[in-house]
Chains A and B, each alone.
Chain A
Amino acid sequence: DAGVIQSPRHEVTEMGQEVTLRCKPISGHNSLFWYRQTMMRGLELLIYFNNNVPIDDSGMPEDRFSAKMPNASFSTLKIQPSEPRDSAVYFCASSFLGTPETQYFGPGTRLLVL
């Protein structure tokens, strides 16, 4: 298996622009997690889905952030409008629904908002 796939790997954008991050979980996994990594706050869970349904989005920082999972093999995290403080590495992870403690991480998207 190719593992969790994220795109793009790097994104540089200007403040106010819309940013869309993409994630393809491991085939057969039915839980998907979005994390954000910053120097100040470390790794934080933003939102997670079970069977394509958002379960807990309490970690999403504000309304500018939204996430969707239209099918079992694809999820997006959108920031609109983006701000410099959104600069971070965004990780996607997936797992089987019955074993959420065993998560496999993607390579991350390094986002820089100027």
Chain B
Amino acid sequence: AQSVSQHNHHVILSEAASLELGCNYSYGGTVNLFWYVQYPGQHLQLLLKYFSGDPLVKGIKGFEAEFIKSKFSFNLRKPSVQWSDTAEYFCAVHSGGGADGLTFGKGTHLIIQP
């Protein structure tokens, strides 16, 4: 069964700092990869996704992620964070050939200090 590991459970940054959130997955086959964001009191929203092609994926709100197949990683990055980026971030995997549900990491709680 696939699994997703997010390395940091809590991250605190100052505004304008650069962000990188780690995500590793374990699955030997073809995968689709996602980053979701959950702002306080709100539901999950899709930030970006990777299906195939260019491994550097750009999403909404200035976020991007890079798929490195050899490392089974899909790290999320943003060059300069804002206070409004305070949220919970989830990495997720869909295996494509197996069950249709998404497998999520446990999330990273990001706090941006003004």
Chains A and B belong together in one complex: yes
CB distance from B51 to the nearest CB of A (A): 7
Once bound together, how far apart are the Cα atoms of A60 and B1, in whole Å?
A: 16
Q: Which of B17-25, B58-66, B70-78, B96-104 contacts A (4 or more CB under 8 A)?
A: B96-104
The answer on a CB contact under 8 Å between A45 and B101 is yes
> What are the 10 tightest A-B residue pairs by CB atom distance, in nearest-first order?
A45-B101, A100-B100, A42-B106, A43-B104, A101-B94, A105-B44, A107-B43, A101-B32, A56-B99, A105-B43
Within 8 A of B (CB), among A75-114: 91, 95, 100-103, 105-108
A56 touches B101 (CB 8 A): yes
> Other than the known A42-B106, A43-B92, A100-B94, what 8 A-B pairs have Cβ atoms closer than 8 Å?
A33-B100, A35-B104, A41-B106, A42-B90, A42-B104, A45-B102, A48-B100, A91-B43
Contact present for A108 and B43 (CB under 8 Å): yes
Q: What is the predominant secondary structure among interface residues of chain B facing chain A?
A: loop
Contact between A31 and B100, CB atoms less than 8 A apart: yes
Q: How many A-B residue pairs have CB under 8 A?
A: 56
Tell me whether A107 and B101 are in contact (CB under 8 A).
no
B contact residues around A59 at 8 Å (CB): 101
For the complex, what is the distance from the CA of A42 to the CA of B36, rounded to whole Å? 13
Interface string of A25-45 (1 = CB under 8 A from B): 000000101010000011111
A100 to B99, CA, bound (A): 9
Q: How far is the CB of B15 from chain A (nearest CB, A)?
A: 27
In the complex, which residues of chain A have a beta carbon less than 8 angstroms from the beta carbon of B90? Answer: 42-43
